[in-house]
Amino acid sequence: MNKSENETTVFSPKSPGDILIIAGPCSAENEQQVLSTAEELTKCKKVKIFRAGIWKPRTEPGNFEGVGEKGIDWLRKVKQKTELLTATETATPEHIEICLKNRDAVDIIWIGARTTSNPFSIQSIADALKGCDIPVMIKNPLNPDLKLWAGAVERLLKSGIKNIAVIHRGFYPFQKTNLRNVPKWELAIEMKSRYPEIPIINDPSHIAGSTEYIREIAQKALNLNFDGLMIETHISPEMALSDAKQQITPQALISLLKGLKIRTSSSGNAEFLSKLEQYREQIDSLDFQLLELLHKRMKIVEDIGEYKAKNNVSIFQLKRWLDITITRKEFGKQIDLDPKFTERLLQLVHRESIRLQSEIMNKNKTK
């Protein structure tokens, strides 16, 4: 997907240093709720897109699953009464067909996390979108599988959709945490690295699961140079039929946005740029030294592997591994390295060491 620097999309900021703000209720529940929320959001000039789910795939049947197609007319009235663009979630080709027939009501569609998790569903949606020009936002899958997320993007690109954004809404936690979903910021950063031309939008509402953490998560996203925020906003959150705990009022949204610090990706200050370049040169030098040291370490690992193979000694030595873990973590603490970081680094190096010695063992076995 190649874009010129001057090409803009519906997801592009209107001015340098600006970010895209998408807001609206988790679900379109009734006409009054939708229109009242949208009209209040017009008081916040930063909001450009009004979001509301009319089809709501739920984990268990019996919960509120959206109003369905009749919600389309409510979105149409939002467009008639405000200058906001509208967006809703689609999960099937039938949803796509309805939205495409009602482009005067629906400007943008998004694909939810459950749908992104299923390549068959994504392909059926991609097929339904062939030859269309509607903008599409793709949420990350439920589980931290970058290939699924990237695969969804690739399928949509192959269908001819050019106006794409991705939404980082966090990943399902395998253990209970304070947050509804685990951010795993590193995966969002990797996604942005793979597709630098595609805007990435953070959804702090779904990561937080509670209004308590939305500001903190939104600011972290801005610190990481995300292109926008999608924040669930409801005229009466306490009355919401879905995700009541994570929705805020339009007034609270205005207050939240005022308190956020928008970071720029660069600075025109010559002194800053000069100092930053000095820091980066130091980082570059240290990175190459680290790689050289790792190379030397792995050569010794190979020598050890050959020696073990000749003497019929097993690769994994528990006592040695425990000793390495304890002594290195202790030294890491002394030099102010985070113990978890030290442990993850050791595990990564150890896995590579095991791999190399396994290859040596297999070669010696065939001789």
Contact 112, 139 (CB under 8 A): yes
pLDDT score at 72: 98
For the chain, the domains span: 20-259, 270-366
At 217-240, the pLDDT tens digits run 999 999 998 999 999 999 999 999
As a CATH number, domain 20-259 is: 3.20.20.70
* Average pLDDT score over the chain: 92
* Top-confidence residue, 263 or 45: 45
Kindly tell me if the per-residue pLDDT of 176 is higher than 80.
yes
The residues near 365 (Cβ < 8 Å, ≥ 6 apart) are none
Q: Above 80 in pLDDT, residue 322?
A: yes
Which overall architecture, per CATH, does domain 270-366 show?
Up-down Bundle (1.20)
What's the confidence (pLDDT) of residue 68?
Answer: 95
Helix 119-128, helix 146-158: angle, nearest 10: 20
What's the pLDDT score for residue 2?
46
pLDDT number for residue 341: 94
- Closest to 119 (Cα-Cα) out of 82, 149, 99, 87: 149
Q: What is the average pLDDT across 334-362?
A: 94
318-334 helix and 339-366 helix, angle to the nearest 10 degrees: 150
Assigned token pair, 73? 């007319």
Question: In the predicted model, is pLDDT for residue 365 greater than 90?
Answer: no
pLDDT at 6: 43
Over residues 339-345, mean pLDDT: 94
CB 88 within 8 A of CB 99: yes
pLDDT of residue 117: 97
**pLDDT-derived band at 9, boundaries 50, 70, 90:** confident
**pLDDT number for residue 7:** 52
Confidence category of residue 328, pLDDT binned at 50, 70, 90 = very high
Lowest mean pLDDT among 131-135, 174-178, 349-353, 361-365: 361-365
Mean per-residue pLDDT, 40-44: 96
